[in-house]
Amino acid sequence: MKEFAGKIAVITGGGTGMGRELARQLVAEGCNVAMCDVSEAAMAETKRLCEVEKLPQGLRVTTHVADVSIEDHLKRFRAELAEQQKTDKIHLLFNNAGIGGGGSLFTNTREQWERTFNICWGGVYLGVRTFLPMLVAADEAHIVNTASVNGFWASIGMGQAHTAYSSAKFAVKGFTEALITDLRLHAPHVKCSVVMPGHIGTSIVSNSRKVQSGDGSERLNADEVALTRKRMVAAGVPDADKMSDEDIQAAFAERARSFLEDAPTTAAQAAKIILDGVKAERWRILVGDDAKRLDERVRATPEQAYDRAFYESFTQEVGWRLG
């Protein structure tokens, strides 16, 4: 697929981050976009940004509220899309929605763990299941599943468990690689790519907290404050056990800000890399120099990938401040 003009793209998690930037760049190339998200307000802002430059006549940008972990929501999204975009086919499917959290089988609840897993993995699986008939109906199509560097390296450091997100992203990577043969055998005009970003400047830290808690607040509740303090102590943050609750709130807010604003790769840069990868029909799209370097390191010394020396030398090399 060398150009996107006149095509129809579905984007999950289109309200913020890479989903928003994918929508903006696709629309700029003349592609119709149907996006879903749990936040109607966030999608409205994405749509406004897409329409800042007057859309070409007939180009459609539609928004649909849906939780990608719930199949009935995606089926409703598909029906609304067919009606509002006046189509029985789509050309691009970006399974982009995701959240963090639920990292530990010990300190997080089962509900938190499965919430992360069901969105990050289930949303991809159900997205493909739901929209595959519309992709097959097109003359050419491409599935783009967002995994992560945590799809080949299941860690964000020595002081924080990361099992739910990493498990989901490993599943996304394996599923997409398996799709290569499945599509070649049964729908050779449909291609697929797995996207593995490093640290991208998005609002996933704050958004994940909102989705996990269900209260939409920017502030941690009492249980989250306690868990954050415990994580900071484990990560070796000086005097974390002596910090007040308000200090913990401030530290979390700073982490969310830093993740968004201090990342080595912006969401807009990431979206361009992804779209260029689709045009080049690359099934494996690493996003960011940190992702490329980590991939090389894990392949070179897999037995050492979870040792402290590996993590500390890598973070020093690329400037990560995570965990």
The H or E element containing residue 134 is helix 123-136
User: Would you write out the chain's pLDDT as a tens digit for each of its 323 residues?
Assistant: 999 999 999 999 999 999 999 999 999 999 999 999 999 999 999 999 999 877 888 899 999 999 999 999 999 999 999 999 999 999 999 999 999 988 999 989 999 999 999 999 999 999 999 999 999 999 999 999 999 999 999 998 888 899 999 999 999 999 999 999 999 999 999 999 999 999 997 766 666 666 766 666 778 888 878 877 877 777 678 888 888 888 887 777 776 676 666 777 999 999 999 999 999 999 999 999 999 999 999 999 999 999 999 999 999 898 875 43
Taken in order of first residue, the domains within the chain and their CATH numbers are 8-201+265-318 (3.40.50.720), 203-262 (no CATH)
Rounded CA gap, 216 and 207, in Å? 9
Q: What are phi and psi of 223, to 5 degrees?
A: -65, -40
- Tell me, what DSSP letter sits at residue 192? E
What is the pTM assigned to this prediction? 0.89
Residue 298: C-alpha distances to residues 60, 155, 223, 289, 291 (Å): 43, 12, 35, 14, 11
The H or E element containing residue 269 is helix 267-279
- Cα angle 162, 166, 167 (rounded to 5 degrees) comes to 115
Residue 101, token pair as written in the block? 């959290």
Percentage helix, strand, coil for the chain under 3-state DSSP, each rounded to 5: 55, 15, 35
Residue 204: C-alpha distances to residues 133, 191, 199, 253 (Å): 30, 28, 11, 12
